[in-house]
Amino acid sequence: MKNRILTSAKAIIAAASIAFVASSPVNAAVIYIGDSQGNTAQYDTSTSTLSALGNLSGLTSPGQIIGIAYDEMSDSVLHLDRNGARLYSTHTGTGASSLLYSGALAQNFQGGAAKGGILYGIDESTQRLRGINLTGFVDAGITGDVLPNHSHALGKDATTGQLYVGAGGNGIREVSDAGVVSGTLLATPGVGFEDLAVFGDDFLVASYGADLHLVDGITGTSSIFLTGAQLSSVGLGSSISGVDLRSSLVTVSEPGVFGLMAVGMLGLAMLRRRRIAA
């Protein structure tokens, strides 16, 4: 009988330990969404809250923004104005916007992924990956493959830093920091791309329509993540052309985990009492 009680208590303790591990940190995200005129919104996945972030009012009007990038170093959303040859910035804390750069390096520059002080983008005219060093705004000297036909979208995995390129009719592919493109990672029939962001095992896609889409990372099928009505309510226009995110670790524990841990502690107490009695 004593051995049976000990075995049961140990099983409870082991289950509680597993439950504790199950409550380890998981990724949450703040998603940034932009339209072709530089209006920006943010969506907090931990609270399911959508709110306006900022706009470019008072600055030189953009020609056409295709792609945004969250820059961790400046804690800002960068807007790539491919037609106006400009880069704008909107600070995620204050919502204040500024003109960062105007010149030839930003001409036909679209997509957008920032890491390590470099803003990566796609040169629309050459269909190759390019980079702009955000310190001094000089060309990063990237020479690589010609990208799949009509590539507009560029994004990165916020955890690994891996870059991805998306092209209508050509799906999603990995691309190295040097511009070397892999084979098709995910076929996405019927999905149009202007910008993309890695979201867990899936992809968020801006396709120059009113909605923000979610593309399944296994099937490649698309569904609406945020509707045009939702985005319009926080000041975005009908041409959603940019998406990126900031990920962070949060601890999520289910109520059952806490209950199982409590039972495990009770098991420990039982063990101690049995040993004292012996």
Per-residue DSSP letters for the chain?
Answer: -HHHHHHHHHHHHHHHHHHHHHTSEEEEEEEEEEETT--EEEEETTTTEEEEEE--TTSPPPS-EEEEEEETTTTEEEEEETTTTEEEEEETTT--EEEEEESGGGTTEEEEEEETTEEEEEETTTTEEEEEETTTTEE-----PBPSTTEEEEEE-TTT--EEEEETTTEEEEE-TT--EEEEEE--TT---SEEEEETTEEEEE-SSSSEEEE-TTT--EEEEE-HHHHHTTT--S-EEEEEEEEEEEE---HHHHHHHHHHHHHHHHHHHHHHH-
Confidence of residue 13 (pLDDT cuts 50, 70, 90): very low
- Single pTM value for the model: 0.82
pLDDT at 211: 98
The more confidently predicted of residues 251 and 118 is 118
Domains and CATH numbers, the chain: 2-21+257-277 (no CATH), 25-251 (2.120.10.30)
Q: Give residue-wise pLDDT tens across range 201-223.
A: 999 999 999 999 999 999 999 99
